[in-house]
Amino acid sequence: MFRVECRQPVPQAGVEIFELLSDGLPDRVILWSEIDVEARGVQRGRDREHADVAVDDGAGPDAGVQLPNGGRPRNRKSRRGPQRRDARTHHEQDHISPCRNCAWLGLGARMTTPYIEDIGSHVGGEVTVRCWLHNKRSSGKLRFLIVRDGTGYLQAVVFKKSVPEATFAAAGELTHESSLTITGTVRADERAPGGYEMSVTAIEPLQIIPPEDAFPITPKGHGVEFLMDKRHLWLRSTRQRAILRIRHEVVRAAREFLDDDGFTLCDTPILTPAACEGTTTLFPVDYFEEEAFLTQSGQLYSEATAMALGRVYNFGPTFRAEKSKTRRHLTEFWMVEPEVAYATVDDVMDLAERFVTHIVGRVLERRLDELKTLERDPAPLEAVAPPFPRIAYDEALDILRTKGSDIEWGGDFGGGDETLLSEAFDRPVIVHRYPSSIKAFYMEPDPERPEVALCLDVLAPEGYGEIIGGGQRTSSYALLAQRLDEHGLDREVFDWYLDLRKFGSVPHGGFGMGVERVVAWICGLDHVRETIPFPRMLYRLRP
């Protein structure tokens, strides 16, 4: 037995490992578990030629390798030059596995450390999986280990008669969420969850969690408070992983849509000198003895970048210090905000409609497995297609009144009103032209009805409520200045914003979409707190 050890810096050693394999050990696969942990990190280097790995047989540094056939590898110096290229060619010919991880290691199919999601391309071969123990079932002389590596679950079977006693014992000592590498032959087996199973030949525990201080999250139920306190560990559950993958898909789809539609990403500052809208509470920050605030929207700045680049968006965190304690609120959340020069309110509605449709479509296309994990019925999502119903605020009031609401004209919708409205349609509904009095100072009034604003909200179906808010912005300098005064906002603070109306003002508009609310809706969750890895809420700053 030998091991391969990492020691820096030893140039070209990554190639040496490969040559060692082909020269001295034609039928021998070096198992991942036989490679020192330090070497693994280096193996991940992008440039294989400069991977820093030396070879050691355990007798000491630079002692060389004692091969089973009695041969020794040539010393390191003699292995530079053309031979290296030969080895690489050999490697490329040898490399037949479609497994991305094995290709990435640069060691072809000989050294197989696949991710579980790729395990199907290794049937019949011996592989090593680097993982955590998800669950364990024992049946006397037979032990089932269900392991996870972040990409999936794999059932590994340890037969007492087929492995050394120590290996069988090691399988027994592993505890829930202990880390390990596990080696064995991959088989297709219908009895195993996922359809593939490993017959184990070797187990190497990395860290065994002691039973007296066991992993706190058990397979059975827990309360919200407990899980939130253990959020850093809760993330390892199947359900949380599915949600975060869908969140990733939502973000990716949003950016993909805007990038492909000619938008330029122009991120806006997090630290701001004043309220963007002046209506909600802000988190104050000491900015070198000046008071600053965490942003609650990048919109005003995006209006500036839109005047420079035409179509822009910003994508970042936003902060609201509201004492809201509901299933729809976080104090820190992510928002994507497109802004378009020369856009009218109708253009913004068109954009919002195409945007939401694209995002939902991508999730259905790429994350159906995760939706299934969440037991989310995809049917309501499949109905999401243009055109979305567009109703004016006045019509919305009529609908609400038929459904029993006693809302007066001029009032904003409460959570219950939003639920009532969205339940009236099978897809997202756009409500436009709210009374100016309940909207922000920068909303453009409707020229035909100045008491309403050219604004819009998109309400998600199934009672999920507002996921998008936006509209057309005031383009007149005089009107904007007047509105600032009416809202009690300081003109000097907004002088740069007023400049946008002073130097080539044009009609323009955009919207902001709350990522967490969209994810909650798509996943069918009853609370936004699970849609972000570490939610920040009223009374919840840790972990």
Site string for RNA, 45-84 (x = CB under 7 A): ----------------------------------------
HSE-up of residue 442 (Cα within 13 Å, Cβ side): 25
Q: CA nearest 181: which of 151, 212, 208?
A: 208
* Residue 488 beta carbon to RNA: minimum distance, rounded to whole angstroms: 14
Contact 453/435 with Cβ under 8 angstroms?
A: yes
Distance CA(419)–CA(425), nearest Å, equals 11
Cβ neighbours for 208, distance < 8 A, ≥ 6 positions apart: 173, 174, 175, 178
Q: What share of the chain is helix, strand, coil (3-state, %, to 5)?
A: 35, 25, 40
- What letter does residue 74 receive in the DSSP assignment? P
Q: Closer to RNA at the Cβ: 44 or 191? A: 191
Stretch that binds RNA, among 55-63, 84-92, 472-480, 508-516 (CB under 7 A): 508-516
What is the spatial distance between Cα 247 and Cα 237, in angstroms, rounded to a whole number? 15
Nearer to RNA, 51 or 513 (CB): 513
Residue 140 CA: distances (Å) to CA of 144, 162, 407: 11, 14, 67
CB 459 within 8 A of CB 514: no
Nearer to RNA, 106 or 461 (CB): 461
What residues from 133 to 162 belong to the interface with RNA (CB under 7 A)?
135, 137-142, 144, 146, 155, 157, 159-161
Residues 316-345 that bind RNA (CB under 7 A): 320, 322-331, 333, 335
| Binding to RNA, residues 386-415 (CB under 7 A) | 412-415
Q: Smallest distance from the beta carbon of 191 to RNA, in angstroms?
A: 3
Instruction: Report the residue number, 33 or 155, with the smaller CB distance to RNA.
Output: 155
Amino acid letter for position 83 = Q
CA torsion 212→214→216→221, rounded to 10°?
Answer: -100
Within 289-318, the residues that bind RNA by CB under 7 A are 297
Q: List the one residue out of 97, 152, 108, 101 whose CA is nearest residue 19.
A: 108
- In the complex, what is the shortest distance from the CB of residue 458 to RNA, in angstroms, rounded to a whole number? 7
Binding footprint of RNA, residue count (CB under 7 A): 75
**Least distance from C-beta 233 to RNA, angstroms?**
12
CB of 58 within 8 A of CB of 66?
A: no
Please check whether residue 116 is in contact with residue 129, taking contact to mean a CB–CB distance below 8 angstroms: yes
Residues 214-233 that bind RNA (CB under 7 A): 214, 216, 218-226, 228
Report the residue number, 82 or 223, with the smaller CB distance to RNA.
223
Residue 530 within binding range of RNA, rule CB under 7 A: no
Least separation in angstroms between residue 143's CB and RNA is: 9
- For RNA, which residue of 44, 46, 77, 191 counts as binding (CB under 7 A)? 191
The nearest distance, CB 310 to RNA, in angstroms, is: 23
DSSP 322: -
Decide: residue 11, CB within 10 A, 0-12 exposed, 13-18 middle, 19+ buried.
middle
Tell me which of 20, 119, 468, 522 binds RNA, using CB under 7 A. 468
- Contact pattern for RNA over residues 244 through 283, marking x by CB under 7 A: -----------------------------------xx---
Give the C-alpha separation, 131 to 148, whole Å: 5
- Judged by beta carbon, residue 214 or residue 271, the one nearer RNA is 214
Q: Give the shortest CB-171-to-RNA separation in angstroms.
A: 12
Interface segment toward RNA; rule CB under 7 A; list 72-80, 305-313, 496-504, 511-519: 511-519
Least separation in angstroms between CB 531 and RNA:
9
